[in-house]
Structure 1
Amino acid sequence: MLASGKHVVDLNPDLIDPSPVRDRLDDPDSQDMDSLRESILRDGQRVPVLVRPKSGDPDRYVTVYGHRRIGIAKAAMIAVRAVVADMSEEDALVAQGQENNERKNTSFVERCLYARRLNERGMAIIRIAAALAAPVSTVSESVKVAERIPEDLIVAIGPAPGVGRRRWLALIPHVPRDRTVWDKLIVKPDFQALSSDERFEAVLAALASPAAGEPDVSRAASLSDAAGVYMTIKKTAKAATLTISRDAAPRSDGVSFADWIEGRLASLREDYLQGR
């Protein structure tokens, strides 16, 4: 932009709206953000942001890229150095993705979310590929990753900068349809205190465990007669467990209730299958 003769101007950050499509996930523990803030407050903003005039409102602008720098300037109540360029929304979204890709500081899952969001806005896959500087096949996979893993879960984990493609793909088969399984995890204070990478590992470990995806065991149902409880039944989403108590009143021939049931399981199964 500078090479093409665009001028850098000082703008009030309160007049700049964010891009309609987010490309980053919030990460309060990001050292990059802390370093950028310290640099701007100490030395000033060296790299200008790129904005475009807002359609229908000549007094406002829309961010193309530079959201973090604009946020820092707004919090510090200082002007933001910007290049203003006329461009369509689609061109702006492509430029936004390209800038982040060139800086190489967006994570795998952030790129997946951005690809999915652009796809949902109807952008052609070839244009999304240009935005991510990636092959079309990679873009298609990225969209599917962000579709298969609920956005709420991704946001709760955060950008996870140290977690790459292989690990996110490994998580997909373990994500249950019932969100209550991971909802209980992400609200815990000790989970939220973890770094983003650690939150990913905690989610994967929890969801990949054998019990993940099952609701809590229901209260055991008990069957009893005059001799007392002779059976309890516990049910989960995947199985039912029948426990036959030691019989307090066995038959005179010594055959226990457990033995009697065991000998009739095959016929009981057949009656069930025949609808009897």
Structure 2
Amino acid sequence: MKGRDILKSMVSSSEHGKVETPQASPSHKPAGAVRAMNLSLGRLNEEAAAAKELREAIAAGDKVIELDPALVEASFIRDRIPLVADPQFDHLKASIADSGQQVPILVRAHPTKPSYYQAAYGHRRLRAAADLGRPVKAIVRALSDEQLILAQGQENGPRVDLSFIERALFARSLEEHGFDRDTIAKALSVDKPEISRLLQVAECVPAEIILAIGPAPKVGRPRWLAFAERLKDSASAKRVEKELQAADFPATETNKRFDRLWTAMTVAEKKANDVEAVRTKKGLPLASIDRTARGSKITVTSAEFADFLSSHMHEFVVMFERETEGKSAD
């Protein structure tokens, strides 16, 4: 019996307060080698984590009920950056349409709206149910704000991990809502030094730029930290803003959006370099002087000229000191 069918039978039986032993399912037509090859390890991990979570919920006496998606609001803290084109969501929606919702979402009674609920996790399942026009299966628990965000953050661990920048935004939102570093670390299952790095990026990179880029799952911590550092330069920030205004930018894939902004920073920086060639009277190259905002570099291409500079370096230093002293006296 397939894992998803087992989960489905568990959900169905939990609504009657017991879990039935799954029976052997009738033989099904093979889905084909191509489809089987496309099953990712991450998907299998998600199903295993979902099964464990559901078993624990049933063992704890939680009941699965059906709710109108219109009565369930999202968590007060966003943890994912929405995408216009989201293949993973499309796959989930198709799966629910075909086999039903196999794992319930977790909600609490809405703290300010009677008869409404607030989701702790399962936002994609909630959205899929709403799009399909069907009730959403949910477990209702009494949760404090802290319990809700801990459940929300930790639910992403054994399933599809948030990207680095989504985690950064989540950490920043938690901090803005008054949660301390210990709670944030527990919610994201990371240590405090990592929380500091997440918050550093979220504080240095404006939210509108992050949202314009999107989740960028292939862009990790080192590149985001470097991006945040470069963005401190006003010229780099202006180049980023200009690239964001490009008509085709929103249609670019999320990881490539980051690459485009990074390229806009670095290519423009290289073009801005002031490179001076050192040549003989006949035009033969001897060296080049590369001046940047970070300093200057002399690259000698002639071995004979390198020996000449080395043998007369002391004289050049004396000449430099004499001229700089004269300018100071003036």
TM-score (normalised: structure 1): 0.74
* Offset of residue 105 of structure 1: 3.0
Partner of 1:199: 257
State the distance in 2 between where 1:205 and 1:148 align: 19
- 1: CA distance, partners of 2:192 / 2:90: 34
Task: Report the alpha carbon displacement of residue 100 of structure 1 after superposing the two structures with TM.
Answer: 1.2
How many aligned positions are there?
A: 220
Q: Specify every segment of 5 or more residues in structure 2 that has no aligned partner in the other structure, as ranges.
A: 1-56, 273-292, 294-322
Partner of 2:242: 184
Cα RMSD between the aligned structures?
2.3
SS at match of 2:59: coil
* Structure 1 pair 140–3 and aligned structure 2 pair: CA distance change class (3 A): farther
Alpha-carbon distance in 2 for matches of 1:182, 1:210: 10
Q: Which aligned pairs between 1:19-168 and structure 2 lie closer than 5 A? A: 19-168=75-224
Higher mean alpha-carbon deviation, 164-173 vs 16-25, is at 164-173
Take 1:187 and 1:80, find their aligned partners in 2: how far apart are those partners?
A: 39
Contact 1:48 1:83 in 2 (8 A): yes
Distance 1:172 1:180 in 2: 14
- Is the Cα contact below 8 Å between 1:174 and 1:208 reproduced in 2? no
User: Are the equivalent residues in 2 in contact too, given 1:10–1:79 (CA < 8 A)?
Assistant: yes
Contact 2:64-2:137 at 8 Å conserved across structures = yes
The aligned residue for residue 209 of structure 1 is: 267
- Structure 2 match to 1:228: none
Asked if 2 retains the 8 angstrom alpha-carbon contact of 1:29 and 1:195, the reply is no
Secondary structure of 1:205's match? helix
1:232 corresponding residue in structure 2: none
Deviation of residue 40 (structure 1)? 0.9
Helix, strand or coil for the counterpart of 1:155?
A: helix
Q: Aligned equivalents of 1:65 and 1:32: distance in 2?
A: 16
TM-superposed deviation, 1:121: 1.1
Write out per-residue CA displacement over residues 119-177 of structure 1, whole angstroms, 9 at most, x where no aligned residue. 11110101111000111111111111111111111110000011111111121122146
8 Å contact from structure 1 (residues 50, 64) kept in 2: yes
The letter for the 2-side match of 1:34 is D
> What SS class does the counterpart of residue 173 from structure 2 fall into?
helix
Shift of 1:62: 0.5
Q: Could you say if the C-alpha distance between residues 57 and 46 of structure 1 is closer, same or farther in structure 2, counting changes exceeding 3 Å?
A: same
Structure 1 stretches (4+) deviating beyond 6 angstroms? none
CA distance in 2, matches of 1:84, 1:128: 24
Letter in 2 for 1:182: V
Report Cα offsets for 1:17-64 as digits up to 9, x if no partner. 111110000123332111111111111111110000012433000010
Unaligned ranges ≥5, structure 1: 215-237, 239-265
Deviations 1:63-118, CA, capped at 9 Å, x for gaps: 10011111111122110000000010121011101001221331111011101110
In structure 2, the partner of 1:257 is: none
Distance, in Å, in 1 between the alignment partners of 2:238 and 2:125 is 37
Which one has the bigger helix percentage? 2
SS state at 1:63 partner: strand
SS in 2 for 1:59: coil
Q: Quick one: distance in 2 between partners of 1:189 and 1:45? A: 39
Alpha-carbon distance between aligned partners in 2 of 1:136 and 1:107, rounded to the nearest angstrom? 18
How far has the Cα of 1:180 moved from its partner?
4.3
Tell me the percent identity. Answer: 37
